[in-house]
Structure formats: C-alpha cells, structure tokens
Structure 1
Amino acid sequence: MKTKSSKFVINLKVANVKIKVITLVTLFFLVLSCAKKDKNETTDTMVVDSTEVVVNDDHNARNSLDYMGVYEGILPCADCEGIETILQLENDESYILNTIYLVKTKHINKTKKSNNEVRGVYTWNDAGNTIVLSGIENAPNQFFVGENYLIQLDMDGNKIEGDLAEKYVLQKKSDSGEIPPPPPPPAPDSIKGNFIPQKTLFTFNKWKLVELNGEPVQNTSDSKKEMFIQLNKENRYAAFIGCNNMMGGFELKEDVMRIKFTKGASTMMACPDMTTEQEFAEMLEKVDNYSLNGNSLSFNRARMAPLARFEAMK
C-alpha cells in the first residue's frame, strides 16, 4: 500500500509540474504575440506619420533660406583666366552683378582686369530653388540657390557637370544691409576711352533707341536725326522719335532700379508716319523698372520682356 501511495503522490507532482510548464509556455507565447502586435502597430504608425511629413514638406530655398546678401567667386572662362563674380541679392528682388574678366598679357606676367556691371531684378522658378536675372542676354543668367551658396547653371538652366562643376559656385560673404566688399576697380568706358566708377542712367548724355516692343528701330546715319532719350538728374527727360520733340518728368529709385514716367508733352508737327512716336509714348506709360548692362539700357514692365532697348550715344 505504501508503494502505491508513493507512486500516486509522485505522479501527482509530475502532473502538477507539467501543468505549470504548459501554463508558463502558453503565457510566454501570449506575451510574445502581444509584443509583436504592438511592434507592428507602432511600425505602421511610424510609416503613416513619416508619409504625412513627406507629403506636407513644401519648404524650398525661396521660403526657408536666408538667401539675401552678397555672393562671390571666380567662375571658369573659355578665353580668360577666370571671371571674378560678385552678385548682390536684395529683398525687393533687385540685384547688382559685377563680373571682372581676368586676362594675362602675353609678355607681362600680370593680370589685367576688365569689369562689367549689370543691375536689374530677379525672379524665381516654379520650384522656388532657382533665380533668373533679368537684363542679361547671350550669357548664363540662372543660379541654383543653396544654403549660403549659389550655383551658376548653363544656358538651358541645367547644372554643369564634369571636372569643372565645382568651379561654378559662389559663396555667400555678407547679408544685405551690411557693408559690402570694396567695389571692383573702375572700368574703361569703351566709348570715351576714360575711366568711370560705375555706369548709371546719367553716365551718358543720351541713349539711342535701337529696339521698341521687340522690333528693331531703323536710325539714320546722321546723329542729329537718331531717335534718342535724354535723362537728367533733375528727373526730367527729353526725346526725339523721328519727328516731334517730347519732354516730361520721371520718378526714379536708382537703388532698386525703379522708374516711372509722368505724362509728358510734345511739339505738334505734322509727320507722314507717327506710328513709332505714338508707340514710344505708350511705352513710357507702361515702364516701371530698368536694367543696365554696360553701355546698354532697357526699359521694362514687371518681369516681362523689355519694352525698349537703348545704346549709349557718343
């Protein structure tokens, strides 16, 4: 009897141990299953949250970078030692671009500098990452905007690739409102052969009309009969457009390249064809800004194509 009783007790203990083991194993798998479920839910939530951030992220250079300021660098040049470039961007979307062509003479190991200054307004592309400089023709006028740097793009607005790609970068030097770097050396005036500090609307006495509303203007070889506009520092203008003399006033904000002509007057001579004269008068009423590029001047409206182009007269 003792033997059977002992066996029964032992079997009962073994059974209890098995039950406990099974219970523990079951609990372990339940906990593991719940942990996996929580992990999957967390991962799903993270994926959803991450997707939402990507979709809602519409930041670009135009609305998230402090891009205004002065940028400098020496850009590659096909027929010179390099182009020292200084580009200043203002918060009113105006710009000043100085380009200095570095050229070595054949027999003297020194670098001569030829300077050109352009002023105008800049616009942004749809993506908000590239600016386009107005008043520049037959040369690259687009820059990709990064944090504290600009990259000059090619004529088609694409990034330049190859060994020289890293050379087309302008680094930011100072913010707008601070003292800019010293101005470049004075440039030779190609017309008079002397030196001037910088070209303005008043650098030349007269500006000859060469294009009106996108069409070239035919001027005679006699300088007295060439079509021109003359601007003075008293904010008065005089013009001759083939027949009558025109005159009037204008409002000028030279620091931001803005100009607005007031309603003027003209002589009343009868002329066979006054079409150009009438178009010129209408053009003056539309102008609200201008661009200077060396000895060339253009009158513009907003960001559209130039309404009129002029060349400096001797």
Structure 2
Amino acid sequence: MRSLFFALPCLLLVGAACQRTTERGNSAPMVSSITPDAPLRETRWVLRQLAGQPVPAVEPNGQEPFLRITGAGTAEGQGSCNHFRGGLKPVTNDGELQFGPLLSTRMACPGLETEQKFTQALDSTRAYRVAGNTLLLYADAERTGTPLAQLEAVYLR
C-alpha cells in the first residue's frame, strides 16, 4: 500500500510533465525566418550592385559607398572617396523616391568610376522597394526591370 501511495504521485508528475512539454511545444510562439523590412530613413544603406552588377571591392584608399536618408528628408552618403548631400523631391505615392540635386566633394580616387555610376543611379531614381535588409532603387514608378542600384542595410554597433 505504501509503495502505491508513493507511485501514484510519481505517475501524476510524469504525466503532467509530458503534458506540459506537449502544450509548450504547441503553444510556443513561432520564430519567423522572415527578416522585417529595414526602415528607409535613418539606415545606412551600403551599395552592393549597380544595374545588376556587383560593386567592385573597395580600393585601399577608398571607402564603401553608402546612402543614408535622414528623418528630416535629406540624402547623404559617400561614393568611394567623395561625400555627397542633397534633398529629396516631394512625392505623391508610396514607393516613389526622387533625389534633388546632390552636392559632392570632388576628390579623385581609384573608385571614381563606381562613384559616378552610383551618383547617376541616384539621379535617375524614381521609386524604391525595401525587402528585408535590401533597398532596391528603380528608374520608373512601377518598379519594373533591373534595379538601378541594390543596397544593403548595415547596422553600426
């Protein structure tokens, strides 16, 4: 009788533990493998492709080309060796983006060709799409065809 008195609570504990494990497994929140979209503004967008082609590695004296759109509605960044800054033109629809004239320093460097293509892509931009950590810039509001530029959100630590 005494062994039954101790065995019954043990069986109940084992059964409850199994039940909790099953419930926890069923009720645990799903971990999504989808990356949430990075915000367009106040993100450092590093240039990865121009017209579908990978951006060449940064030269020893150059810096990684990037774009940052501020909360105040200005654009700033770096080509390879030159800094640029300018405004955004007003848009009427979501997904549209157009840069105003960009002012830039004028230093010569080995990455100047990439820098010029990057500036031309920004000048031609009329729309964008953010997908996860990727920013795509397009020449038309319909966002069709090969993007002018592909940039990646890089978070500073």
> Paired residue for 1:288?
126
Q: Report matched runs for 1:1-314 at 5 Å.
A: 108-110=25-27, 111-114=29-32, 116=34, 199-202=38-41, 204-220=42-58, 225-251=63-89, 253=91, 256-302=94-140, 303-314=144-155
Structure 2 Cα separation of the partners of residues 221 and 274 of structure 1: 10
Contact 1:231 1:238 in 2 (8 A): yes
> Paired residue for 2:10?
none
Structure 1 Cα separation of the partners of residues 57 and 66 of structure 2: 10
Question: Is the partner of 2:84 in helix, strand or coil?
Answer: strand
Query: C-alpha displacement at 1:252, in angstroms?
Result: 5.2
Query: C-alpha displacement at 1:255, in angstroms?
Result: 5.7
Question: Structure 1 281/219 Cα, relative in aligned 2: closer, same or farther at 3 Å?
Answer: same
Question: Is the partner of 2:116 in helix, strand or coil?
Answer: helix
Aligned length: 128
1:92-121 superposed Cα distances (whole Å, 9 cap, x missing partner): xxxxxxxxxxxxx9x71135052748xxxx
Contact 1:219 1:227 in 2 (8 A): no
Structure 2 Cα separation of the partners of residues 311 and 254 of structure 1: 25
Question: Structure 1 225/238 Cα, relative in aligned 2: closer, same or farther at 3 Å?
Answer: same
> Paired residue for 2:11?
none
Structure 2 Cα separation of the partners of residues 233 and 201 of structure 1: 9
Query: C-alpha displacement at 1:206, in angstroms?
Result: 0.4
Question: Is the partner of 1:256 in helix, strand or coil?
Answer: coil
Question: Structure 1 272/225 Cα, relative in aligned 2: closer, same or farther at 3 Å?
Answer: closer
> RMSD value over aligned CA atoms?
2.9
Query: C-alpha displacement at 1:268, in angstroms?
Result: 1.6
Structure 2 Cα separation of the partners of residues 278 and 268 of structure 1: 11
Query: C-alpha displacement at 1:228, in angstroms?
Result: 0.6
Query: C-alpha displacement at 1:218, in angstroms?
Result: 2.9
Query: C-alpha displacement at 1:251, in angstroms?
Result: 2.5
Q: Which amino acid aligns with 2:147?
A: P
Question: Structure 1 280/220 Cα, relative in aligned 2: closer, same or farther at 3 Å?
Answer: closer
Query: C-alpha displacement at 1:304, in angstroms?
Result: 2.3
- Which protein has greater RCO, CA pairs closer than 8 Å, 6+ apart? 2
Query: C-alpha displacement at 1:254, in angstroms?
Result: 8.4
Question: Is the partner of 2:40 in helix, strand or coil?
Answer: coil
Q: Whose Rg is larger?
A: 1
> Paired residue for 1:195?
none
Q: Which amino acid aligns with 1:200?
A: P
Query: C-alpha displacement at 1:199, in angstroms?
Result: 3.6
Structure 2 Cα separation of the partners of residues 298 and 205 of structure 1: 14
Structure 2 Cα separation of the partners of residues 246 and 309 of structure 1: 18
**Where do 5+ consecutive residues of structure 2 fail to align?**
1-21
Question: Is the partner of 2:85 in helix, strand or coil?
Answer: strand
Q: Which amino acid aligns with 1:244?
A: N
Query: C-alpha displacement at 1:207, in angstroms?
Result: 0.5
Structure 2 Cα separation of the partners of residues 253 and 109 of structure 1: 46
Q: Percent identity?
A: 29
Q: Which amino acid aligns with 2:129?
A: S
**Where do 5+ consecutive residues of structure 1 fail to align?**
1-104, 118-186, 188-197
